[in-house]
Structure 1
Amino acid sequence: MLGRGDQERGFSLLIAAVRAFPDSGLAERAASDYLDHVSAQRGPEAAAALALALARELEGREVEERLRYEHAKRLEALGRTTDALAAYVDLARRFPYPEGGYWDQALLRAAELELTLERPARALTHLEALLAERERSRITGSYERPAFAQARFRIAEIHRDAFRDAARARAEFRRVWTDHPKSLLGDDALFEEARMALAMGDREGACAAARLLVEAAPDSRFARCGTELCPSLAPSDGRGCPAYVRQRITGAEGAQAPPRHSSSSSSSSSSSR
């Protein structure tokens, strides 16, 4: 019916189906589509409010978690940082690991919003809570979530940028590699560790990280910059160090940070590992 142009009638049927079958595997997508429609017709504030109203109406049903995630996400998009933060924290509390499908993303977003509010210590609290569940999951045999490596990487960045604790940051970057061997963030982390060591004048430490990067992840774009990080390493295969990475190493004025692997791709094993 949506395709035939009778959109209002179609969307009315869509939300009716969500209410009638809130435990269906299709309810989450249908609810999201309906909220997008409401946002387009009545504004994003209305969509955010409706997401919460529907979550309360359908409390205890499978679709509730997605509706609460939609509520938090839409509050964040509106710039309502404090409200969004509270909504993400509440979501993680209501739907904890391992059953909670949005638990990890809720804690990651909560950490980012704490940083927006200039509260790095609180950001670390959310990230460390996420990783604490990983430690428990290793005992019970639960699977590794991509968010675990993302949280570890973000912890390293916070210690580097907010607390200026280079030693702790280097240690956390190394743990991305050692503790999360399937994450695509591993080579990024080794590069950051080597770059920090170089900036600190620790050439031995820089060479150790760079050597591991070159030997264990030879296809990484960062491995092509091994000699820039550690002159004693053998030159790369001839492709050369990308200019934007070299600028990051040398600290050239106007240097642009190299793009990290996207969070969505970090669930796969790196081809360079």
Structure 2
Amino acid sequence: MRHPDWVSDEVLSERRRLVALGYRMLGTVADAEDAVQETYARWFRLSEEERRDVRSPAAWLTRVAGRVCLDMLGSARARREQYVGEWLPEPLPAGQLTDASSATDPLERVTLDDQVGAALMVVLESLSPAERVAFVLHDVFGMPFAEVAETVGRSPDAVRQLASSARRRIRSAPPAPPANRREGIVLAFAAAANTGDLAGLVAMLDPRVELRADGGGVVSAALRPVRGVDHVSRFLVGVLAKHPDWQLRPLDLVDGPGLALADAHEIYAVISLGLTEGAVTDVWLMRNPDKLTGWR
């Protein structure tokens, strides 16, 4: 017997939300797409009777996607030990993962975008797979702890502790400046770098500033973090001096203003800045072409 159309429509309409979940779990759109594909494969491998017994296809898909991502996170850690240089999450254009249903609510849109910001995504990378899955499923997607427990194979109390641990780690990061100030900071940073103004750039950097670049072993990038005001400022000015046609240009990242390292025809890198009220604390420079597909 043919499965009812309304169930198929409900299942297929979940795809964008599942990709958003997968990205928060895994850090790249390609991995998120793979996780979603496997999730749908498991749904369609169910018999029609099994699918009819699922009260909420959306909840079922979310639980299965979480389990798939948990498995993928375990293997990803092993792969990243062989990764050439630094591994960074993929930077995304503004609105790429925002559900269409929430686009009419600016406040909700801001909340969703902050949940995929570069600073948060970098912190998520430092969590254990179970912590990350527990935090994303419960704190971001609102899944009850009992259902998260089924997904990660632990007790609800253990899952609460995992999410709490992740929450503490995330909240320990210094607060970013208000959204209306970020653009000015980012533009001033770009102007100083573009003009070779070392003194101006130095004045904007936190003493413990760190620059991390991800080239994936495909293009040239710093293989280790560049640390300290002097080293970071000279690195940035040096890159632009070496490539006179390149400039730092503003663009809209999913969590706010960012920068493209580009000439008139092509984007060579996307830069996200970690900001506090008084300084730039982190520079995340994405050069890996496999993680720049949203900008091509």
Question: TM-score by structure 2 length?
Answer: 0.24
Question: TM-score by structure 1 length?
Answer: 0.25
Question: Between Structure 1 and Structure 2, whose CA radius of gyration is higher?
Answer: 1
- Bigger share in strand: 2
Identify which of structures 1 and 2 has the higher relative contact order when contacts are C-alpha pairs closer than 8 Å and 6+ apart. Answer: 2
